[in-house]
Structure 1
Amino acid sequence: MRLPKTDKLVLAVMCGVPTVLLLAFVWFPALASVGLSFTSWDGIGGVGTIEWVGTRNYSQIFSIYPPFWPALRHNLYWLAFFILIPTTFGIFLAVVLDRAIRFSRLYQSALYLPVMLSLVLVGFIAQLFYSQDQGFINGLIGQQGTGPDWLGNPDLNLWAMMIAASWRHVGYIMVLYLAGLKSVDESLRDAARVDGANEWQTFRQVIFPVLKPINVVVLVVTVIESLRAFDIVYVVNGGKNGLELLSVLVYDNIVGEASRIGYGSAIGTILLVLALGFIVTYLVQNFRREQRP
């Protein structure tokens, strides 16, 4: 059916404007960053001062840049923690609230409320809980001033920040899965009950496979949130002393005193490759399973 010119114009604007914005503010900066990772530039001089250095930035990052390996390890810890703890807990909450229990709307609102907060604010709230001298946790155990230094101890502060960030992430995962569960055909549950499946078997073998589109979205969101974590650790101690992350290294090299645009871009490119690696691997495995007879 041919569309009127007015409808074509509306479609062109609705598709064209987001596409232009996506290209201008996402893809062009990303590709430019990849290109700059092969150069040496302090960000002050013009384009003519950019010097091509090939893979020198990458070789130096992997060989003579001490903060890189701890930051990479911390990011992988963050990713594994987010997949195992807040994602699993978010699924559990979604299943419980999907049963239409009493005051479920109130619970949903309360659990989703942290998602509305920025990670910077979550970081400030975390300091109120974790402070050694006046923090809620040490006060609760009666050890204010003498209890564990949750934010200053490099063996503890990373885990403390991951728990604080999980508080915000759980609500987002819960809402995504709750929306997916609401769309599941009730006849699938009825058929599973007729076959004698219990609730766990019904969820694992019937419901969860149906939620595959939600699983993909959750994986993408979790990987991105884990690898780009920056705000919450930077407000605590600038991403130092046990809170080193790749995103902090990118900031320090591009915006900080170092002003090494090429170096920071190389670390950002590594971060991009890590995110795409996890996401693409998951998608390829799922497509292969679907194609098997």
Structure 2
Amino acid sequence: MTSISTVPPPPRRRARLRRLSGRDRVVLTAMAGLPLLLSVCLVWLPALATVALSFFNWTGIGGFSQMKPAGLENYRIIFTIYPEFPPAIEHNLLWLGVFFAVPAPFGLFLALQLHKQIRFSRIYQSILFLPVVLSLALVGFMTELVFSPTQGLVNNLTGHAGQNDLIDWIGNPRLNIWAVLIMACWRQTGYVMILFLAGLKAVDPSLQEAASLDGANEWQSLRHVIWPALRPINVVVVVITVIESLRAFDIVYIINQGTNGLELLSTLITTNLIGETSRIGFASALATILLVISLAFVLPYVYSTFRKDTRP
């Protein structure tokens, strides 16, 4: 028998790594360094400075030499004898809960409907997203027009614009927060809808087709296929919802400067910062509390989500 000689395959050539030129390094350094520098200068340093100022008493007049150490005194006053703080915390948490209960699921519902490629889908998207383009200050003016006691749309439609059965949506501290939340949810829903719609565009259609072939109905497909694929978008929606609810300011400040039932942490910060008696240290303590609350909601969810993604 004649043996067949096998020819060994040619050795693989190692991929040569291209050395970066000096110009490449400059470009990469600029692309990565400039955003990092801006983030440090415009976000992290002011945040750290705010935390540091919260331990001082300072009116902002006379330079840094007039700063007097206060320790935890500002925080003690806030948590014990500052009457506006408890309702502000309550309203911020209410704002956060309503944003999670109404715009988030309703925005997902609208995104699912528009994702079905119905007729005039583009027009519906534009109409539903239009409120997001409006500033919160303009939404505040619209809130006054819609819920005005005598000239407002709601009271005139329901017949409560007369003197005998007048409903004061703006002046009543038990009602004005709900009137503001209705308008805020109206604006936030379009924002969440666009985020979910962008996430749905990235879902592999073959997964949904395979689920339907296996007999899954629409709810089962959403629960077991679409929702897990939307995990990165869910992180964005949670972060955006927390930020938008805790930074709410313009809409209530336009109505009554954040008083008489519309107290929020953001309005308290502004009042103490630029009021007649400026208390920068006290306002910094309020801002630090707002920062801690934001991180307490965002960081655990983001950590748990990305931990699941990196788990083998």
Please give the alpha-carbon distance, in whole angstroms, between the structure 1 residues aligned to 2:75 and 2:105: 36
Residue of structure 2 equivalent to 1:26: 43
What is the one-letter code of the residue matched to 2:110?
L
**Partner residue, 1:79:** 96
- Whether 1:4 and 2:24 are equivalent positions in the alignment is no
Match of 1:120 in 2: 137
Runs of 4+ in structure 1 displaced over 6 angstroms? none
Asked if the contact 1:112/1:171 (under 8 Å) is kept, the reply is yes
Q: Percent identity?
A: 57
- Superposed displacement of residue 145, structure 1: 4.1
In structure 2, stretches of 5+ residues that fail to align are 1-17
Q: Which amino acid aligns with 1:92?
A: F
Whether the 8 Å contact between 1:79 and 1:226 is mirrored in structure 2 is: yes
Answer yes or no: is 1:228 the counterpart of 2:257.
no
1:39 aligns with 2:67: no
Give the Cα separation in 1 of the matches to 2:180 and 2:140: 8
**For the residues of structure 2 that align with 1:221 and 1:201, how far apart are their CA atoms?**
27
Alignment of 1:87-166 (within 5 A): 87-146=104-163, 147-166=166-185
TM-score, normalised to structure 2, is 0.90
Q: Which has the larger radius of gyration?
A: 2
Question: Secondary structure at 2:111's aligned position in 1?
Answer: helix
In structure 2, what is the equivalent of residue 202 of structure 1? 221
What is the CA-CA distance between 1:15 and the residue it aligns to? Answer: 2.1
Correspondence 1:214 to 2:224: no
Mapped contact 1:36–1:265 kept (Cα < 8 A):
yes
Which of 239, 245, 250 in structure 1 is aligned with 2:258? 239
Counterpart contact for 1:87–1:173, Cα < 8 Å: yes
2:69 pairs with 41, 45, 52, which one? Answer: 52
Shift of 1:78: 0.2
Give the distance between the partners of 2:278 and 2:264, measured in 1 at CA.
18
Task: Find the aligned partners of 2:218 and 2:288 in 1 and give their Cα distance.
Answer: 44
Q: Distance in 1 between matches of 2:24 and 2:162?
A: 67
SS in 2 for 1:66: coil
Deviation at 1:23, TM superposition (A): 1.4
Does structure 1 conserve the Cα–Cα contact (< 8 Å) formed by 2:103 and 2:189?
yes
CA distance in 1: counterparts of 2:54 and 2:185, whole angstroms: 32
Q: For 2:122 and 2:307, locate their aligned partners in 1 and report how far apart those are by CA, in whole Å.
A: 39
Give the corresponding residue for 1:268: 287
Give the whole-Å Cα distance in 2 for the aligned partners of 1:263 and 1:59.
10
How far apart, CA to CA, are the structure 1 residues paired with 2:167 and 2:225?
45
How many Å apart are 1:292 and its aligned residue? 7.3
- AA of the residue aligned to 2:236: V
Q: What is the alpha-carbon distance in structure 2 between the residues aligned to residue 40 and residue 59 of structure 1?
A: 13
Q: Distance between the aligned counterparts of 2:103 and 2:162, measured in 1?
A: 30
Aligned CA distance change for structure 1 residues 117 and 187 (closer, same or farther; 3 Å): same
Distance in 1 between residues matched to 2:233 and 2:222, nearest whole Å:
14
Whole-Å separation in 2 of the counterparts to 1:44 and 1:222: 37
- Give the Cα–Cα distance (whole angstroms) in 1 for the partners of residues 311 and 46 of structure 2: 39
Rounded Cα–Cα distance in structure 1 between residues aligned with 2:180 and 2:160: 20
AA partner of residue 193 (structure 1): S
Question: 2:88, 2:265 within 8 Å by CA — same for their partners in 1?
Answer: yes
SS at match of 1:99: coil
Larger helix proportion of the pair: 1
Moved more, 159-168 or 233-242: 159-168
**Structure 1 residue 96 displacement after superposition:** 0.4
Assess if the C-alpha contact under 8 Å between 1:134 and 1:145 holds in 2. Answer: no
Say how many residue pairs are matched: 293
**TM-score normalised by L of structure 1:** 0.96
Amino acid at match of 2:199: G
Write the distance in 2 (CA, Å) between the matches of 1:85 and 1:109: 20
